[in-house]
Each structure stands twice: as structure tokens, then as C-alpha cells.
Amino acid sequence: MITLDKITKKLGARILFEDVGVTFNPERRYGLTGPNGSGKSTLLKIMMGADDATSGTVSLPKKTGFLKQNISEFINLKLVDVVLMGNSRLWAAMQEQNRLYEEEMTDAVGMSLAKLEEIIAEEDGYTADVEAETLLSGMGIPDESFQKTMGQVPLDHQFRVMLCQAIFGKPEALLLDEPTNHLDLDSIRWLETFLHEYEGTLIVVSHDRHFLNTVCTDIADIDYETVIIYPGNYDTMIAAKSQMRERTESDNKSKDKKVAQLKEFVARFGAGTRASQVQSRIREIEKLQPGDLKKSNIQRPYIKFTDPAPSGQIAFKVTGISKAYDHPVIRDLSLEIHRGDKIGVIGNNGRGKTTLLKMLAGIVAPDFGTVLPGHNMTLGYFPQNHGDMVDKKMPINLVSWLKTQKSSVHEQDIRSALGKLLFSGDEALKEISKLSGGETARLILASLIINSYNTLVLDEPNNHLDLEAVSALGWGLKQFPGTVIVASHDRDLISSVATKIISIEERRIIVFDGGLDEFFAQKA
């Protein structure tokens, strides 16, 4: 059980949440939601003890697993050892046991070793290595990496090891901040299964809508400067929240109408002989005054790509392309991408999704084969690394940067696009050096909108976007009449957009004519 008692967090004059009192129960899996900047990660850090609340207290079980972000502290340790450190009591006992074995054996040392043996047995220490390796394997870490140091494996594998550390040792509670980042679809599905079987208290922050819908039994939503618990998954919460808001607004309108009628009566008879009736209505007016309706912090951008001049029937003709770095990533791929195709590119990390998209975008040349763009094809590219497109060292604001992307565009059209992407008023004049990851992603989307491309190639566009923005992006891509090729680990985005799948697998590339759910069903 995790209990928050009167937790308040202020950032300057801004209140993230105030006097939050909530209990998270065992055998429940809570998704902690709210738009970017609402305080999700801040609240999780307060629970972890990594940040201080302005006021209030947090009560945690003794054995709580945290998804830590300080990878550099573990860079010289073996992967298995990093996982074992998730059980601090067991790890401390094992380290002390190893130290004592190097000393001269005395009665005191023998007694200490016996006590340590009890602790190791209580913490299932004699099967700990096997449990740690099982977790690593489930996360897609190859067996030959288990004894390597963190610095010897790719960055995405390092993040997976930290996730294994959090869930190791049967913690009574788990606090996970964006656990699906750096995970491929197979690893996400494994994690979903693991968390379904987890019997403790889970609190998870994620921008993966499908993950929240699959895993969560409840949603803890940060809004109206507090935390509100909704039973059910994310989609259930959105429906309930909308209904509650509409009901409150309707009640307030009814009260306004009734108050107006009562005020009219008071105005007509206030100076007459019906004084008692007038006083009665004045008291009723006081009771009926509608309460202040706090503004919700949910903001959903409106993403609609401009209808472009169409390309020819064939958007891309790909013939026998191959690409290798220190190992082959794309081998002898041939396909045609037709105008209006909506293609989802999936596959484990390191298999070549980004390489394929860069070859289609003309950023990387294939070692062999050709990529021929179709007649009248105009291409907009969304890079996985935002820095490839937005140089934050440039001393310019959002409006000026968008003019560098299309010099002929009118400022009114730029501001319209920015407003739809939640940069309203003076926000449009914000310096690009001060943008967050989510804001940078929305700026790149604004540039794609104003350029009216007929073909969009997007590499993990959902990274850094909140759930509402990802949902809006999915709607926009689905409505777009042109061609879309999008690589993502976000299954909700791929499921809502893609009518074809390119799956890059270990020894082959599958081109499937159908959606993601159909693909998984056939593969199963």
C-alpha cells in the first residue's frame, strides 16, 4: 500500500497539485496520467524520495521497486549484478558475505556468516541469479550479454536492465516512469504479462495508450490541482471524465437559468407587499449559486495535415536495397509503396527501422539497390532524433524557425498551425532553445502541416508526446489523403493508422497487407 497525505507541490507561483490525499492499494495497477507538464514524473519522484514535496508525507512499503534513471552509476557493473541490486537487502548481504570470506575464519566471522546466510535464504538468494537472468531474457537481452558490463551493451539494453532491476526481488510496490521507452513490441508484451501477474501495488507513468489500457485496473489522473482515481483503464477514464465534466456544466447552466428567474421575481416584487416570498427567493438564490468550475489541464492539439497535390500512383519503388554497418540491417528488400498507403514499420530495436526510413527519405544511401521516388512525390520527414531537424542553438523563435522551413508561407498561416499545436499567443514567440521534447515534436509536426507534403515518413513521432497528442496525431494521419510510412513501438498509433505492415525481423523482412492486429493474429 502507498499512501499520500496532504501532498502539495508548487513551482514558483504555479500549483501542480495541492493537499493530495490518496491511497494506492495492493493488487491494483494504477496508471498515473495527465498531459506534459502536469506533474506526473514530479509526483513519482516525490514518492521515490528523489524530489521534495512543498508539504505533506508519503508512506511506502519497505520493499519498493523504482525504475531508476541514473544509468551512469552502474556503467562498470555486470548486467546480472545490476539486476540483483534491485533487492538492496540481498545485495548488501551478498557483498558482506564475499568480504568476510576473504578474512581469516574466526568465531565472530562464522557467526556473521551464519546471519548473512539466513538473510540470503529469506531473500531467495540461492535462486537470485536464475531469476535475474530470466528477467533479462524476457526483456530481450541475449544470454551472452549477462556477464558483460553495462558500458559494453547498447543504450536501449541498459534501460532494459534498469527495468529488470526495478522488478527484481518481488517488491511489494513498483513505481515505473515510462517503462516502455526503449522497449520493442515483443519486450512490451512480455512486460504486460509480467505486470498482470504482479500482486503488489503498481503505479506507472506511460505515454503508451495500449499499454495503459492493457495493464491498468485504475487510473490516477492529475487534474484540477489534485489526483482523482478512476476505476478501469485509460479509455474508461477518458469517458468517465468527459461525462462528469458535461454533467457539471449542464447542472451549472440549469442553476444559472433558475437564478435568473428568481432574480427577476425579486426585482419585480422587492419593494411590494410580498416581502416574505422575496426573502425566501433571495435565500434560494444564495443556495443555487453555481460553483466555480476549475479549468481542466487536458489540452488536445488539432493535427490535420493539409490536403496536398497528389503524387503519382507509385510513391516509392524500392529495388534490391541492402545496408550494413558493423552487421547487415537491411538485406535485399524490394517493394512498391503506392499513393495513399498507410504503412506501419515495426521490429525490435537495432533491426533497421530507422535505416529503412532514412533510405526512403534520401538521407542515407543504400549499399546496394535503388530507392526511386514516384512522380510528383513531395516528402516530409520526422526524425527520431529531433536535433537532426531542429538546431536548438539557433537564436530564433518558433515563428522564425517555421519560416526557414517554408519561406513563402504567411505568418498568419504559421500562427494558425502553431495554435492548433497548442502554441497560442506569445507561445509562438518562444525561443526554440527553451523547448521541451514534447514541444519540439509538436513544432516539427507544425512544419509538416504548413508544407503540404503528399508523403510523410515519420520515425517514432510519438516520442515525448503525451497521450492526447499521440491520439490527435493518429487521427490526423488516418485522415491524411497522402502516403504515410511510420515507425513506432506505440501499438495504439500503429493500429489506428496502418493498413499495411513492414516487420523487420532477425533474418527476414515481412511485408503484410493488413493492420497490426491482423498481422499479430496471423503470426500467432
pLDDT digits (tens, 9 = 90+) for 127-164: 889 999 999 998 888 899 999 999 888 887 888 899 89
Contacts of 326 (CB under 8 A, 6+ apart): none
**Higher local confidence (pLDDT), 382 or 284:** 382
pLDDT at 293: 46
Contacts of 424 (CB under 8 A, 6+ apart): 418
- Where along the chain do its domains lie? 2-236, 251-288, 314-523
Whole-number Å distance between alpha carbons of 65 and 47: 11
pTM of the model: 0.74
Q: How confident is the model at residue 244 (pLDDT cuts 50, 70, 90)?
A: low
The CATH architecture one would assign to domain 314-523 is: 3-Layer(aba) Sandwich (3.40)
pLDDT tens-digit readout, 209-222: 889 999 999 999 88
Q: Note whether 2-236 and 314-523 share their fold.
A: yes
Contact 338, 377 (CB under 8 A): no
pLDDT tens-digit readout, 291-313: 554 555 567 789 999 888 899 99
Residues forming beta bridges with residue 9, ordered by sequence position:
17
Whole-number Å distance between alpha carbons of 7 and 11: 14
Q: How confident is the model at residue 247 (pLDDT cuts 50, 70, 90)?
A: low
107-122 helix and 88-101 helix, angle to the nearest 10 degrees: 150
pLDDT tens-digit readout, 91-121: 888 888 888 887 777 888 788 888 888 888 8
pLDDT tens-digit readout, 407-455: 888 989 999 999 999 898 888 898 988 888 888 999 999 999 999 999 9
Contact 443, 420 (CB under 8 A): no
Whole-number Å distance between alpha carbons of 469 and 471: 5
Instruction: State the DSSP string of 460-484.
Output: STTTT--HHHHHHHHHHHHH-SSEE
Share of the chain above pLDDT 90, in %: 39
Domain at 2-236, CATH homologous superfamily: P-loop containing nucleotide triphosphate hydrolases (3.40.50.300)
Q: How confident is the model at residue 392 (pLDDT cuts 50, 70, 90)?
A: confident
pLDDT tens-digit readout, 28-52: 999 998 877 778 888 888 998 888 8
Q: Between the CA atoms of 488, 489, 495 and 498, what dihedral angle is there, to the nearest 10 degrees?
A: 30
Kindly report the average pLDDT of the chain as a whole number.
86
Establish how many alpha carbons lie within 13 A of residue 10's alpha carbon, considering only the half-sphere containing its beta carbon: 8
